[in-house]
Amino acid sequence: MKRFLPAVLLLAFCSLLPAADKPNVVVILSDDLGWGSIGCYGANPDLVQTPNLDRLAKEGRRFTDANTTSSVCSPTRYSLVTGRYCWRTSLISEVLSTWAPLHIEPTRLTIASMLKAQGYNCAAVGKWHLGYGTAERCDYTKELKPGPLEIGFDYHFGVPANHGDLSGVYVENHWVYGLDKKSPKSPSPPYVTMGQQKGRPVAALELNVPKRVDDEVMATLTDKLVTWIGQQTKEKPFFVYFTPVAVHNPITPSKQTAGKSKGGPFCDFISDLDISVGRVLEALDKQGLAENTLVLFSSDNGGVNKPMGETPQNVAQNAGLKPVGHFRGGKHDVWEGGFRVPYLVRWPGHVPADSVCDDTVSIVDTLASIATITGAKLPKVSEAAEDSRDVSKAWLGEKYEGPIRQDVIVHGSDGTFAIRKGQWKWIEGVPADDVKPAAKKARANQMKRMLYDLKADVAETTDVSAQHPEVVKELETLLNRYRDGGYSREVPPADAKPKTLFAKLPPIPNAQPVDLKSFKSSRGKEWSSHGEAMLGRAGEKGSALTGPLDMKDGSLEFELRLGEADRHSLRIHTAGGARSFRIVLSHGFMDIARNPEKGEAPDKTLSLAHTRVQFRPKEWLPIRATFKGDELTVQVAGTTTKVKNPIFAEQKVQANFIAFDGEMGLQRFVLARQ
């Protein structure tokens, strides 16, 4: 009979251990795997066979109320690695693009940097989707630095963004795997992206490198990890962050599993995931490391649950699979199906075998719990791991008073917040400012204030906010307190105020004011003056306020209140009137582009920058553009973007402030010529 160390003694014991005696840690984060998609969570055995995942449950602990922080992937991955909710960053909705820079500051504490400081070897293998480098548009022909190795990992092999993404390649450490550095773009072998498979005209990047083969990606990633584990010894502990691409679209089961399940390709792909987990467990057994290795398995968000069309997921559902179990909604949604995921923990001799825990835990708790297990001391709550709570006692099956997590915040792909406490779930129902109208329309039923009693109504069928206004007030106050305070590992002070999003820009020397009231409405509806401000209201074709701009080098600055408008474009024409460029601010991004010249087709627009920004659209926001030769520097919302193009060196003769889809305001326009 195995005996288990109490958690408090385990912490004291681990903190005194030399590195070689600390436990290894393997975190496996699957992709789009819903709560009901594997055998130990009730999946129909006639459709899905998951013996290796079921083995983890049998030899460890299964959690029934585990939650991701977001219903899409990048934010959850950020939360797991850093112990911080991703909505505290500039990513307030959806996911990072394939081109995104590294979203984690190299100075920020991560699980890897925390364990590396304790003498661990650390590897990140699989889907990354947290960006590379510092440029606003990642250049895959160059060194991809900073990346995983700058935030604590010693080895990285992965898919840059998604299965089927635009890159079509793997990345190893700082470079695209197999890249011909002498001729990085040509010739470029073909690769069919997920977008192309859906009929969209989105081609893969031109890179002179062997491209991924979709139905071999799972095996390739697992081969790399198994090889790395085979190089580890008992003399030095290790940490693995393994992120398989299964079961994200495109659904591409391997030749080993294709056609085996009555549930179709999606269920076959689940088998590939299970095989991969089995190979990892086998590698641990082969090295004699299993007894001293903590394994955590989960998913980045709930399963795809859109019962429309002949998708592989719907074929499986029609055959009887319930990918999100008994919950409502799925990936992207603010409903429980978007966040509830499988969650299995195994550590022989420490985690009670074949046990079940019904308490609420979150993916964001991973860092703090591993810190306790390994004896690491966390920094102040305001400095790192701001939202990660220690749930190690729940992992270890130890006794604790009350729920191990009093509350948890979840976040839909549209930026809609919800907070759970006890039996209650309150949905704030306010989407992020950068959410497109089409998304708002598609998920309009999630964008209103609602309260659910999950104990009586786990399927979220009946809004009870009218019957319990006191609960709504309590949860709304708590959510605001956590947001404004900047952390939730502890409860912030009641009078916590939101931090300033960004510092003010210093004044421009010798700046001269320009009277915006002298500018003319040149298209669309008339602009009107309100005090010192000019207000413009526009439809989708835009409404422009136009005036002269006589400058070559120098700076211009104005304040913008974007309000409810979709976007603002500052279009600047150069001498002769044939050439122009634009600086566009929307609710989530700042874009710089050179416009097509007269006679050129619209698709000749040259994109120069695409910077993610976060600001409060109802407040006045300074925007500064500085020209020096062929270089333009734009400063807005705490970001600085520099681009080069010959057009910026030309004489600039006209400024057009253009509003689109709604009302916006302008004021305090100044110029400083050099």
Residue-wise pLDDT for 77-122, tens only, equals 999 999 999 999 999 999 999 999 999 999 999 999 999 999 999 9
For 152-158, what is the mean pLDDT? 98
Paired strand residues for 585: 568, 590
Count of positions (residues) in the chain: 674
Q: Would residue 11 count as lying in a domain?
A: yes
Structure token pair of residue 209: 């490198």
Which of the four pLDDT bands, split at 50, 70 and 90, describes residue 9? very low
Which of 352, 368, 401 is the last residue in one of the domains?
401
DSSP state string for 531-585 = TTEEEEEE-TT-EEEEEEEEESSEEEEEEEE-TT-SEEEEEEEETTSS-EEEEEE
Q: In this structure, which amino acid lies at residue 552?
A: K
- Kindly state whether residue 208 falls inside one of the protein's structural domains: no
444 beta partners: none
**Cα dihedral value 253, 256, 258, 261, nearest 10:** -110
pLDDT at 17 over 60: no
Residue 202 lies in a domain: no
Indicate if 568 and 628 belong to the same structural domain.
Answer: yes
Q: What is the total count of domains within the chain?
A: 3
State the CATH number of the domain containing residue 92: 3.40.720.10
Residue among 376, 358, 344 at smallest CA distance from 28: 344
The string of pLDDT tens digits covering residues 467-477 is 999 999 999 99
What pLDDT, on a 0 to 100 scale, did the predictor assign at position 20? 67
Mean pLDDT value of segment 339-345: 98
Query: What's the CATH number where 577 sits?
Result: 2.60.120.560
For residue 607, being part of any structural domain is answered with yes
Within this chain, do residues 22 and 65 fall inside the same structural domain, yes or no? yes
Smallest Cα–Cα separation from 410: which of 398, 397, 421, 395? Answer: 421
Q: Which of 52-56, 143-147, 370-374, 437-441 has the lowest mean pLDDT?
A: 437-441
Residue 197 lies in a domain: no
Q: Assess whether 463 and 583 both reside in one domain.
A: no
What one-letter code names the amino acid at 268? D
Residue pair 340/324 in contact by the 8 Å Cβ criterion: yes
**Given this model, what pLDDT does residue 13 score?**
42
Q: In this structure, which amino acid lies at residue 7?
A: A
195 within domain boundaries: no
Residue 328 has pLDDT above 90, yes or no: yes
On whether both 668 and 595 belong to a single domain, the answer is yes
Domain assignment present for residue 388? The answer is yes
CA distance 463 to 183: 60
Question: What is the predicted pLDDT for the residue at 199?
Answer: 82
Question: Stretch 621-650: mean pLDDT, rounded?
Answer: 96
Does residue 566 share a domain with residue 528? yes
Provide the percentage of residues in the chain whose pLDDT is more than 90: 86
Domain limits at 620? 512-673
The pLDDT-based confidence of 5 (bands split at 50, 70, 90) is very low
Is there a single domain that holds both residue 258 and residue 289?
Answer: yes
Q: What DSSP character marks residue 120?
A: -
Find the angle CA(281)-CA(285)-CA(287) to the nearest 5 degrees.
120
Residue-wise pLDDT tens digits, 69-81 = 999 999 999 999 9
- Residue 607 and residue 662 in one domain: yes
Helices 265-286 and 312-319 pack at an angle, to 10 degrees, of 90
CA–CA gap between residue 533 and residue 209 (Å, rounded): 54
Q: Which amino acid is at 357?
A: C
Q: Is the pLDDT of residue 16 over 60?
A: no
User: Other C-beta atoms within 10 Å of 604: how many?
Assistant: 11
DSSP letter (8 states) at residue 41 = G
Identify the pLDDT of residue 497: 84
Tell me the torsion sign for CA atoms 499, 389, 125, 276.
negative
Classify strands 121-127 and 155-159 as parallel, antiparallel or unpaired: parallel
16 and 94 in a single domain? The answer is: yes
How sure is the predictor about 1, in pLDDT bands with cuts at 50, 70 and 90? very low
Give the 3-state DSSP-derived string for 625-649, with helices as H, strands as E and coil as C.
EEEECCEEEEEECCEEEEEECHHHH
From 195-199, 298-302, 658-662, the region with the lowest mean pLDDT? 195-199
User: Rounded distance, CA 475 to CA 491, Å?
Assistant: 13
184 in any annotated domain: no
Please say whether the beta carbons of 290 and 298 come within 8 A: no
Last residue of some domain: 343, 369, 401?
Answer: 401
Residues 148 and 257 in one domain: yes
Say whether pLDDT at 672 is over 60.
yes
Task: Choose the final residue of a domain: 367, 401, 435.
Answer: 401
Do 389 and 290 sit in the same domain of this protein? yes
| 143, 274: one domain | yes
Q: Are residues 652 and 580 in the same domain?
A: yes
Q: What is the mean pLDDT of residues 631-648?
A: 96
* DSSP per position, 367-384: HHHHHHHHTPPP--TTTS
Query: For the chain, what is the mean pLDDT?
Result: 94
